[in-house]
Chains A and B, each alone.
Chain A
Amino acid sequence: MTITTTARLSAAGAAAIAAALLAAHPVHAAVHHAALVIQHTSGSLITRCVAFAEEQINGLQLVQRSGVEYEAQSFGSIGSAMCQLDQEPLTVPPGCFGSGPYWQYFHRQGSDWQASVVGASSSVLHDGDIDGWRYAAGANQAPGSISFAAVCGAPPPPIAATRAPSATGSIRPAPVQAVPLPPATPTPATSLEAFAPSAAPSRNAVLASTGPNQPPRAAAIVPWLALGGTAILLLTLGAINLRRRGP
């Protein structure tokens, strides 16, 4: 292999990395949904479906974005404990937990609830996850059984098939309590906002954006391409160096 070949190889590598960086301009990411289930002492159940643009959010962000009133206390790296949720208890007990019932935190795993090993701000939720809170005394008092579809509705058809031809950028139509979408503007938005949905067991989270509506898969494949390209370049360089003897 001559120096020219290696120089070309290096230039190609640099161009690939530069292209990957340039391609990573802000585009609208995929829209995800997570469900929130809150069960009071009285047994009343509150459900919320929250939409988010990020790949993942934490449990505290889910509560924040659901619009439910809450009071949390941070416990460092363990995460935040919920002291008050939806006005229960009426006053925040001393030390957050008090001596009686307290807000217990669960994640839905298949058809069961599993007690969270971390606090709300340290848990991670992805698309389709369900978080459950129950105000009760004694350990492992999980909320009632509920499915994601019961909170957020059935999974939507592919975005490409449902995308509206208008330029408003609404990715998913909201059947109930739809927030009026702003008119299209030439400036692309860099973030998506999730609006607080109602307690109705329907997919009632609306995302509004003003930018051009692009397929999310194109944005998702760029990091993978960059990762694969970098790995291939390094493996090629390793093969070149391996073929030559050491000093």
Chain B
Amino acid sequence: MTRHPLAWCAWATAALAAALIDRNPYLQGLLLLVVINVFLPYRGPRRLTSWKFGLALAVVPVIFSAALSRFGRHLLFTLPPIPIIGGRWTLDAVAFGASTGLALLLTVAVFGVLHTTVRSADLVAILPRPLYRAGTTVALALAFAPKTVASFHSIRQSRHLRGQRASWRSAPELLLPLLLTTLEHALQYGESLDARGFGSGRRSRYRPSRWTVPDLLVVIASLAAIGAMAVFPAAPYNAYLNLAPTVPRPGSLLGIALLAVPAVTASLSRMDHARHHA
């Protein structure tokens, strides 16, 4: 059921384009359904982190827009003249924030699906030769962020076990071991790269990625989705100008529906697999 990394990249590009271009709530809702559908076959017990992060991120624009914007025709309530938040709170501002929040959620969700389905090593392996070293460096740098966070948590936990409370005064005592641990990790990375002959030439692959018919279908559908978005652009949505969104044209819907092809192919291949074992 694994897809070629390039097929996933094509899908992610088309899905991100849809998430960032289409602000029509109907299309955003459909795109969310599509991304959930694509995610479901690859879900695991610990794969919901990006969704939780996306949901938390999506709430922020709603709060900021509702609290800070005084424009709009559909009044929810009026607060007394308190600095910053006082005045008219409107439904238009909430809808505008929700539209922005949904776009953020979709962006995070698409990257979450990509993170779940594609290994960074596979992505680096398909890079063109001139970009291989730079790609490896970027992949390592990206891998460093969760490692550093994990180190921070373990240092703080070990301090708690010793009965030391965490406060801003204890920041140097936290940061110094964190810096040393990070440097140690960097040295380990360097040594492991050296041991694997990094820089001596392109690495061979033990199990090369092969193109299959479903992979090609995903790529063709993604390209067609981008084409449909260009040919049938959705009417722009601005909650302040018109709270009720316009119903998208069938062409725009087709662009979104084509992005569900990975979910369909995954579903079909699972059925094939199940029938084979039956």
Contacts and interface: CB of A to CB of B under 8 A. Distances in A.
Contact of B250 (A7, A21, A235): A21
B247 A109 contact: no
A235 B33 CA distance: 7
A122 B41 contact: no
A21 B257 CA distance: 13
Interface residues of A, number: 39
Contacts of B40: 238, 241-242, 246
B248 A244 contact: no
Contacts of B224: none
Interface in A232-247: 233-235, 237-238, 240-242, 244, 246-247
Contacts of B30: 227, 230-231, 234
Contact of A227 (B253, B264, B268): B253
Nearest to B38: A241
- Could you say which interface size class chain B belongs to? 35 or more
A237 B264 contact: yes
Chain B interface, >50% SS class:
helix
Contacts of B250: 17, 20-21, 23-24, 222-223, 226
Which of A114, A122, A238 is the most central at the interface, judged by chain B CB atoms within 10 Å of its CB? A238
Contact of A246 (B43, B247, B254, B257): B43
Which of A7, A55, A126, A230 is the most central at the interface, judged by chain B CB atoms within 10 Å of its CB? A230
B104 to A, nearest CB: 21
Nearest to A107: B73
A6 B266 CA distance: 12
Contacts of A20: 250, 253
B37 A224 contact: no
A3 B275 contact: yes
Interface in B1-47: 1, 26, 29-30, 33-34, 36-37, 40-45, 47
B33 A117 contact: no
A202 B263 CA distance: 57
A66 B260 CA distance: 46
Interface stretch (B76-84, B185-193, B238-246): B238-246
B42 A247 contact: yes
B157 to A, nearest CB: 30
A227 B26 contact: yes
B272 interface: yes
B269 to A, nearest CB: 10
A166 B34 CA distance: 48
Given A234-B37, A238-B36, A241-B41, A226 B253 contact: yes
A109 B41 contact: no
Interface in B221-252: 240-242, 246-251
Contact of B251 (A2, A21, A56): A21
A122 B241 contact: yes
Nearest to A77: B238
A234 B70 CA distance: 37
A23 B256 CA distance: 19
Interface of A: 1-3, 6-7, 10, 17, 20-21, 23-24, 55-56, 109, 114, 117-118, 122-124, 126, 222-224, 226-227, 230-231, 233-235, 237-238, 240-242, 244, 246-247
15 contacts: A2-B271, A17-B253, A21-B251, A24-B249, A55-B246, A117-B240, A118-B241, A226-B253, A233-B257, A234-B30, A234-B37, A237-B263, A241-B41, A241-B267, A246-B42
Given A124-B242, A226-B253, 15 more contacts: A3-B268, A3-B272, A6-B267, A17-B257, A20-B253, A24-B250, A55-B246, A118-B241, A223-B247, A230-B253, A230-B257, A234-B34, A237-B37, A241-B41, A246-B43
